[in-house]
Every structure is written in C-alpha cells, then in structure tokens.
Amino acid sequence: MKPKQSIAGMISRREILKLSPLILLSGCDITPGEKTEPLLRTVQQFNDWVQSKVFDPDKLAPEYTDADVTPEEGFRVNGKDAGEPDIDVVNWSLTIEGLVSKPGTYTLGQIAHLPKRTMNTRHCCVEGWSMIPQWAGTPLREFLRFVGADPRAKYIEVRCADDYFTSYDMPSALHPQTLLCYEAYGKPLSISHGAPARIVMPVKLGYKSAKWVHTIILTNEKPGGYWEDQGYDWFAGL
C-alpha cells in the first residue's frame, strides 16, 4: 500500500500559481455579480494557504554570476506611481514598532554595520518581465535579531514613503535571501530604486519588494497591502 502524498509532493508551487488564475476565472463565471468578490477573496485565501504550506524557508532562489547580471542601464524602475517621494536621505531613519524588545528608530549607518550579503537574483514582476540586478544589504533576519524581534510574531508589515505598503509571513521575512537592501551594483541605491533602503525578496513576486521603506511593524494580526487589498495574492510566492 502506497503512502499518501502531501500537497507539496503532488504539485509544485509554480504549478499551483499557474492554476490560481483559472480558479479565479471560473469563480467569476459561475457566481452572481454581488457574490463574486467574496468568492474571489475566499479563493485568494485558499491560494495563500496552499502556497504557505509548500514554501520551504531553507530553499534558496537561484543566484547568478556577474556575467548574467542585467546591465545597470537596463535596471528597470517600477512602482505604483510614476513619481518619486521626497526623501531626506541624509537624515533618514527606519522606525520599528510592534512585537520587538527594542522599538525605535535606526539609522542607515546602524543597519550597514550589520552582516552584509551581496547577491545576483532574479526580480520577477507580476506584469511578466524580469531582470537580474546585483543587490546588497543586510539580511532582514539579522536586522530583526538586532532589534529583538519576538520569535512568536507571525507577520511583518512595511510602510513606504510613497504611501505604498505590503506585508509578509514571518518565515518569508526570515528567509536568508530576504534583504533590507541599501545598495545595487556596488553603490548606494538611487532614489528611483528605493533609497535609502528597500526590501528585496527573490522568493516573491516583485510587488513584495517594497521601496522607500520607513516603518516596519511586527504583529500577530495579518496585515494587508496596497495591491493585496485590490485582489493580488497576499503570499505571492514564486
């Protein structure tokens, strides 16, 4: 008698993501208009649940050689708005709130003194394009350890200077390739690419890699997000 297979053993995460739009479309076809949105929310929650179950916090996204890196002039700018926020880079600080033992504000200098990781990973946009920039910064888990994050905290919300916001499950935030990023191509981030600091998360779709981060909140209440509240997947795994 064969042992029962788990969901993770039967289908891959990428296959699940391919099926998700079909499920959503079928929901729109069979449901009266006033019931479509609740159904889509239910399906979205199911998709997020399945993705969280197949997510491996120790599995790394592919990293590439310097020869594979997208040329700096091809480093594509993307965001919810065409403009850039007005940021005082010199006096910038990152605010930490919620379930941490050392809440408060932290300067870029303090962040840059933490362990640093440089990596060439693929950034995948939900619009269908991708690129391979070279990123550098401190792994977010190192920063969370530094500020005394409560190990029982379930979620992280990030808020940005352009009023963008998004959120993550804790295993994804603690993934070794999730960066609190302050450099690209061997130099400080430009404003257009999220300076002074942004999130880089190569195991997620690009809208999870928030730019111009100014506040991080640890919580046990599941937050939303700018695009997530409009129907995008909350988990957004690759």
User: What mean pLDDT value characterizes the chain?
Assistant: 85
What confidence tens digit (pLDDT) does each residue in 152-203 have? 999 999 999 999 999 999 999 999 999 999 999 999 999 999 999 999 999 9
The boundaries of the domain holding residue 216 are: 66-230
Cα–Cα distance measured from residue 119 to residue 122, given in angstroms and rounded to the nearest whole number? 10
Ranking 69-83, 99-113, 150-164, 172-186 by mean pLDDT, the lowest is 69-83
Name residue 64's amino acid: Y
Q: How confident is the model at residue 105 (pLDDT cuts 50, 70, 90)?
A: very high
3-state secondary structure of 156: strand
Q: Do 116 and 37 belong together in one domain?
A: no
Domain membership flag for residue 5 = no
CB atoms within 10 A of CB 150: 15
Per DSSP, which regions of the chain are E strands?
A: 93-98, 104-107, 117-120, 123-124, 130-131, 134-139, 155-160, 165-169, 179-184, 187-188, 198-200, 213-219
Domain membership flag for residue 60 = no
Cα–Cα distance measured from residue 215 to residue 207, given in angstroms and rounded to the nearest whole number? 17
Rounded to two decimals, the pTM is 0.80
Q: Answer whether residue 125 shows pLDDT above 70.
A: yes
3-state secondary structure of 158: strand
Domain membership flag for residue 116 = yes
CATH of the domain at 184: 3.90.420.10
Domain membership flag for residue 235 = no
CA-CA-CA-CA torsion sign (126, 42, 37, 162): negative
Contacts of 206 (CB under 8 A, 6+ apart): 78, 123, 124, 125, 126
Q: How confident is the model at residue 80 (pLDDT cuts 50, 70, 90)?
A: confident
Phi, psi of 32 (to 5 degrees): -55, 150
Counting the structural domains of the chain, the total is: 2
From its phi and psi, is residue 62 left (phi > 0), alpha (psi between -120 and 50) or beta? beta
Q: Do 117 and 22 belong together in one domain?
A: no
Among candidate residues 198, 205, 143, 147, the one with its CA nearest the CA of residue 174: 143
